[in-house]
Amino acid sequence: MAGRCLIAFLIMASCLSVFVSVSVSGQLPGDLFALGVASRLRVDGNWTARASSDFGRIVTAAPEAVLHPATPADIAELLWADVLRATLEHGLAPRVWTDYLRITVAGTLSNAGIGGHALRRGPQIANVLELDVITGRGDMVTCSRDKDPDLFFAALGGLGQFGIITRARIGLEPAPRRVRWARLVYSDVVTFTRDQELLISKQDGEASFDYVEGQVQLNRTLTDGPKSTPFFSDADITRLAGLASESTSGVIYFIEVAIYYNESTITSVDQKLEAILEQLSFEKGFVFTKDVSYVQFLDRVREEERALRSIGMWEVPHPWLNFFVPRSRILDFDAGVLKGVFAGANPVGVILMYPMNKHTWDDRMTAVTSDDDVFYAVGLLRSAVAAGDVVRLEKENEAVLAFCNNEGFGCKQYLPHYTSQDGWQRHFGAKWNKVVELKAKYDPHGILSPGQKIFSPMKTII
């Protein structure tokens, strides 16, 4: 590595670990090695191998060493599941959740943190009050909207480029105890999108859901593959498969919704659900409900994980593609991608498609969205389970991106990946010059997340 090494920070604060790779070259401001970091480095192949891959299981990059932080001052890690347990002890909970709780707080806030809870309060990064950040200069900074706001907004959705988040202060609210959980079925994309947009347009105080998220079911019948989500009975699955077969495209859609409540308000929940459903146009007779605890609902993906792990389908390659599609082009996307590029596809995994309000995102944050006032989060969360799947799925992802670019959709990748600085410059658009300025200010030596290839070699930003 000729005077340059990769260090993966292995956070041991809980049963799960996260790896954040940084490039360390020669002399660092403050000389981290003089602070005793070297004594906590592990270079054994067993440790570096663990830090060489991620959930995608496609790209590997072995670090030269693994650091075991000794105190929270080195690096801190918390999973969202840990936050849930801690806040529930006080009868409270964060206002916005991701769909999966077994991911780290800092990692999520370095991207955005989206899901069906973002319909009115925006992503998780829009609900942060204060951060502690270790910058690329080696400084530990406490920042907020009022104190060092440049760093605060840079770190939120900043992809780890400006600093490592070690503490986050987030907004809480009283936690409910129960959830009325429902799935509504559609065979028509126009009705599906119209109803979702109606639901996210409702204001606090109106009869509305606390969670709204859309899914797309392609050609494969619901009877294929592992039944990792025990939401439907066998009879329900047979009916759904029949509805899919009646569709000329073989595509059906779900809107997944939830109402939070406490035991004392169960009667009003029934009335509220009925009042909202009367405004919607799902397929008659195709509404499915269940009642679960608040924790069961929030941690629902964990059950899917356990089911998939039991049959060896969790730790497989995941060539996922996530992006934001403007509302004005979502029907074109449905026709060109879901019924075009994916025509005849038989995917294993989930396809998400649900709208969010742009006004709930703070444009000062590094994270970018599409330009429309309402845009759709689209997640092609497919798994490679057979030989050749990785190559095939990656080619399909490339075809999707090419189609969107050629048609001028104005999509923006979420959890973005580009192979050139030109791609990143197009991604950030009008924010690019500010991003470069912030990089030079908070990470002038370019030691943070260089593998993303956002910036040119270090000498150009020092």
pLDDT tens profile 228-287: 456 788 888 888 888 888 887 889 999 999 999 998 877 789 999 999 999 999 999 999
Q: How far is CA 216 from CA 33, 246, 306, 381, in A?
A: 51, 16, 23, 11
**Residue that is last in its domain, among 174, 190, 222:** 174
Helix (H/G/I), strand (E/B), else coil: 214: strand
Q: How far is CA 376 from CA 424, 425, 426, in A?
A: 21, 22, 19
**Could you tell me if residue 63 is left (phi over 0), alpha (psi between -120 and 50 degrees) or otherwise beta?**
beta
223 and 363 in a single domain? The answer is yes
Residue 59 placed within a domain: yes
Beta-carbon contacts of residue 23 (< 8 Å; ≥ 6 apart) = 4, 5, 6, 446, 447, 448, 450
58-67, 77-86, 106-115, 143-152: least confident range: 58-67
Both tokens of residue 219?
């050609």
Is the model's pTM score more than 0.95? no
Q: Bridge partners of 8?
A: 21, 66
273 and 188 in a single domain? The answer is yes
Residue 255 placed within a domain: yes
Q: Bridge partners of 173?
A: 93
Residue 303 placed within a domain: yes
**Residue that is last in its domain, among 67, 90, 109:** 67
- The CATH number linked to 86 is 3.30.465.10
153 and 36 in a single domain? The answer is no
Give, as one character, the DSSP assignment of residue 146: S
307 and 183 in a single domain? The answer is yes
Q: Are strands 140-144 and 321-326 parallel, antiparallel or unpaired?
A: unpaired
Task: Indicate the number of domains in the chain.
Answer: 3
Longest CA span, the chain: 69
Both tokens of residue 390?
């990785």
Q: How confident is the model at residue 357 (pLDDT cuts 50, 70, 90)?
A: very high
Q: Are 109 and 307 in contact (CB under 8 A)?
A: no
pLDDT at residue number 333: 96
55 and 89 in a single domain? The answer is no
Residue 439 placed within a domain: no
Beta-carbon contacts of residue 28 (< 8 Å; ≥ 6 apart) = 138, 445, 447
Query: Is the confidence at residue 83, as pLDDT, over 80?
Result: yes
Q: Higher pLDDT residue, 396 or 23?
A: 396
Q: Higher pLDDT residue, 342 or 56?
A: 342
Residue 327 placed within a domain: yes
Beta-carbon contacts of residue 162 (< 8 Å; ≥ 6 apart) = 133, 135, 136, 151, 154, 155, 366, 438, 439, 442, 443, 448
Q: How confident is the model at residue 25 (pLDDT cuts 50, 70, 90)?
A: very low
Cα-trace Rg, the chain: 23
62 and 117 in a single domain? The answer is no
Beta-carbon contacts of residue 103 (< 8 Å; ≥ 6 apart) = 79, 80
- Alpha-carbon span 45 to 66, nearest angstrom: 10
Residue 266 placed within a domain: yes
Both tokens of residue 51?
């830090």
Q: Are 134 and 163 in contact (CB under 8 A)?
A: yes
**Structural domain harbouring 379:** 178-414
Q: Bridge partners of 198?
A: none
Residue 153 placed within a domain: yes
Query: Is the confidence at residue 461, as pLDDT, over 80?
Result: no
399 and 358 in a single domain? The answer is yes
pLDDT 10s digits, 196-223:
999 999 987 788 899 999 999 886 545 5
Instruction: Give burial (CB, 10 Å; 0-12/13-18/19+) of 419.
Output: exposed
Query: Is the confidence at residue 2, as pLDDT, over 90?
Result: no
To which H or E segment does residue 133 belong? strand 128-135
pLDDT 10s digits, 285-312:
999 999 999 999 999 999 888 988 898 8
Closest Cα partner for 109 from 93, 96, 121?
96
> What value does the mean pLDDT of the chain take?
84
pLDDT at residue number 77: 54
Q: Are strands 4-10 and 65-67 parallel, antiparallel or unpaired?
A: parallel
247 and 395 in a single domain? The answer is yes
42 and 156 in a single domain? The answer is no
- Rounded mean pLDDT of 48-70? 67
**Residue that is last in its domain, among 41, 67, 93:** 67
- Rounded mean pLDDT of 72-94? 80
145 and 279 in a single domain? The answer is no
207 and 351 in a single domain? The answer is yes
- Alpha-carbon span 203 to 201, nearest angstrom: 6
- Alpha-carbon span 323 to 454, nearest angstrom: 18
226 and 351 in a single domain? The answer is yes
Q: Are 337 and 403 in contact (CB under 8 A)?
A: yes
Beta-carbon contacts of residue 166 (< 8 Å; ≥ 6 apart) = 72, 73, 75, 76, 106, 132, 133, 134, 140
pLDDT at residue number 234: 83
Residue 72 placed within a domain: no
Q: Are 155 and 133 in contact (CB under 8 A)?
A: yes
